[in-house]
Amino acid sequence: MATTLTKTPMAYPAEFLKLVDEFIHLANRLAEDVDDGEVSAAILFAAGRYNAFNFVSHNGTEQDKKDAVDFYVSEYRKALVSNMEGAVGPVVRPHD
């Protein structure tokens, strides 16, 4: 017997979503003057840089580095896929 999985929106704390919205608003402001692909790449690079800083700041060791990279890559993949699937709400195209 096959079972059907029903996707339900994920629940995130309001404070977390407010932080996310602040980054999105900043990205949208930057994209007014710069290509949005460049803004997207900058966000990704900045996330990597900040997460590397976070890892080092919390005494991450060389032995822990691979696990940390695997964790961050896995979390990014989950975030990207869940947003593409509308887990928090629809991702909409910009108005022309």
Residue 39 contacts residue 27 (beta carbons within 8 Å)? yes
Q: Mind listing the pLDDT tens digit for each residue in 30-82?
A: 999 999 999 999 999 999 999 999 999 999 999 999 999 999 999 999 999 98
User: Domain coordinates of the chain in residue numbers?
Assistant: 33-84
Look up the pTM and report it. 0.75
Is the pLDDT confidence value at 90 over 90? no
Q: How confident is the model at residue 86, as a pLDDT?
A: 83
Q: How confident is the model at residue 42, as a pLDDT?
A: 97
Contacts of 77 by beta carbon, 8 Å cutoff, 6+ apart: none
Provide the 10 A C-beta neighbour count for residue 17.
12
Amino acid letter at 43?
I
Q: What angle do CA 14, 16, 22 make, to 5 degrees?
A: 100
